[in-house]
A and B are shown apart, each in its own frame.
Chain A
Amino acid sequence: MKPLLSIQDYKAHFYTRRGIVKAVNGITYDVHPGQTLAIVGESGSGKSVSQLSYLGLLPTPPLKIMGGQVLFDGNDLLQMSEDQLRKIRGDKISMIFQEPMTSLNPYLKIGSQMIEPLVIHRKKTKKEAWKLATQALERVGLSRADQAMESYPHEFSGGMRQRVMIAMALTTDPKLLIADEPTTALDVTVQAQILELLKSIQQENKMAMILITHDLGVVAGSADEVVVMYAGRVFETGSVDDIFYRSQHPYTRALLRSTPRLDKLEKELPVIQGNPPDLISVSEGCPFYERCSYQKEICKREFPRESSLGAKHKWFCHVEKIS
């Protein structure tokens, strides 16, 4: 299957007064149509920046794209002009964010915001767009969609607002949906509803989804493939089963073990010592080196080369075998 999005050795750094922050430091992976790829990592691992930056959604400077390719449908997004990018954003590639209240305009009716992508990208008249947007709201399970179109964002609960965001992102039938922590601000019972909704819409549309999250439970329930990020690097990629049952990277394993689980009665959680590194002072070596229980001399100096098993499962570690 040809990938819809192919990211190759992509680098994006921030030039700040304190120094260069290597937020995305050479990442490579593919996203396939109809599949959900989850990007997991802790805060500061670069999971959001790795997506927002190539879409031109971050200010440059301080951001500077340092190299690599981001091929969408075969075209390199990094070579496109702002005009060309704008035509893709919100049309073929849509996004939803963590906090729906900050991504909706509080002064505008839901309807006026909903029709924007249709009027801009699809050249619909306002009337046609209004009708399509109302249908989109119905599709995400909002009762009385007519009334919702005439309401303002503050009249909705968090879960409802996120439904509106999803409906808005889907009005143009995007090929790729990037969901950045879409359920992190929501309660678990609402989270379950939203994840279910995203799954059913995806199956209907054969749309690809990139799900950015720090919640390994959400990954297990929603992803087909997983990318584990740490300090701007990809540490491991593979199918969801590769990552959860056959993980080869010490960080992935440690992360899984240190997460409390509802189906277990743990006596004591194994912990990862120390804190995530400061991205200004990351060395050329493996950024996990200091916290890793398998650390070797070479880890300090050199970032490991790719190891792989089968077509999909890849990881980056100097250690031959971990227990």
Chain B
Amino acid sequence: MSKPILSAQDLTVYYPLRHRGFLRAVDGVSLDLYPGEVLGLVGESGCGKSSLGRALIRLHDPSSGSLSALGTDFLSLKGRKLREFRRNIQMVFQDPYASLNPRMTIFDALSEPLRAHFRLTTQEVSKKVAKALEQVGLTEQARDKYPHEFSGGQRQRIAIARALVLDPKVLIADEPVSSLDVSVQAQVLNLLKEIQKSTGLSMLFISHNLSVVKYISDRIAVMYLGKIVETANREDLFEKPLHPYTQALISAVPIPDPKLERERKRIPLTGELPSAENPPLGCAFHTRCPWVVPRCLEERPKLQAVASGNQEVACFEAGKKEN
């Protein structure tokens, strides 16, 4: 396989708590994003997926670990070099109501990153903005309007255009369709897919929604309590999930098919997600795991490649059980 375009090694994000200790939002994650791929990052609320996404573009700096992007040591960049480098990696957020300035026209919002990064004539800026708007399926007339004049789906298109206007190599999309209605969600998903194909950019797609992640991703990483527990190609992850958490997660997702739902067996997960302030020792999942053995309480399983191909799993018991 080619060299990763974005590569995190043993990355941690700890938030200091007021009274004592840290909240371990991201607790030792190694993750590679390859050129031209869509990597889905899935997990439940509080698992650290957004913190990881933000650390990957240095919206906040990781507490430890290393991060390389496009062959550069991303964490060592400072000042002007960092600002210049950032054009390569752009982000789209969940709530297009919050991420667009209500007092800027669409043209202002889209030309701002261009002016910050390049010295362009007015004409060149206009041209690039027009191109970005066209890419996301909006008409020229949109450019002089304000965000409130658009629906949620259209606003998300604008946010995507704003990320694309700099021709980034990497796009990090954090729950980009979660606030949209089903009928609009499909439009935005197809748009992201189409843009990814036509520009060849690499995308990290963060979401709690497994069905959406499955639709858009080439490869998927599953996160639990600050750690990646499994990665696999999308076919493999859903056909033969190896980690007990992945299995439980997949079995819990409702499928819009009544007959299937009546026949399905769910793997029940007992208990609640432990706190990231005080995560369990050993394997973070052992408090809820149906396969737990004594070793899990003491030792933390590493993410390891499975003999058959492109799948990695962090579990001592994975592969031993027949499902």
- On A, residues with C-beta under 8 Å from B are 42-43, 157, 159-160, 187-193, 195-196, 214-221, 240-241, 244-245, 254-256, 258-263, 265-266, 268-273, 275-276, 291
Contacts and interface: CB of A to CB of B under 8 A. Distances in A.
A90 B211 CA distance: 36
The 3 A-B pairs with the shortest beta carbon distances in the complex, nearest first, are A217-B254, A216-B256, A258-B186
B254 A275 contact: no
A247 B240 CA distance: 33
A254 B187 CA distance: 12
8 contacts: A160-B272, A192-B252, A261-B256, A263-B255, A265-B235, A266-B215, A268-B193, A271-B183
Given A159-B272, A268-B190, A259 B256 contact: yes
Given A190-B272, A193-B269, A269-B186, 18 more contacts: A159-B272, A160-B272, A192-B268, A220-B258, A220-B260, A221-B258, A244-B258, A255-B182, A260-B214, A260-B215, A262-B255, A265-B234, A268-B193, A271-B183, A271-B186, A273-B187, A275-B151, A276-B181
B144 interface: no
B182 A219 contact: no
Interface string B243-256: 00000111111111
Contacts of B189: 260, 269
A169 B54 CA distance: 40
Nearest to B181: A42
Q: Which of A221, A254, A270, A272 has the most CB of B within 10 A?
A: A221
Contacts of A214: 181-182
Q: Which of B212, B250, B261, B268 has the most CB of A within 10 A?
A: B261
Given A259-B182, A269-B215, A188 B256 contact: no
B182 A258 contact: yes
Given A221-B254, A262-B238, A275-B184, A188 B210 contact: yes
A311 B210 CA distance: 37
Dominant secondary structure of chain B at its interface with chain A: helix
Nearest to B257: A220
A43 B211 contact: no
A270 B187 CA distance: 8
Most chain B beta carbons < 10 A, residue from A255, A263, A273: A263
B80 to A, nearest CB: 42
Contact of A216 (B154, B182, B266): B182
Contacts of A244: 256-258
B64 interface: no
Contacts of A269: 186, 189-190, 215
A187 B44 contact: yes
A185 B183 CA distance: 20
B45 A187 contact: yes
Contacts of B210: 188, 262
Nearest to A42: B181
A147 B250 CA distance: 33
A240 B272 CA distance: 32
A191 B214 contact: no
B160 to A, nearest CB: 16
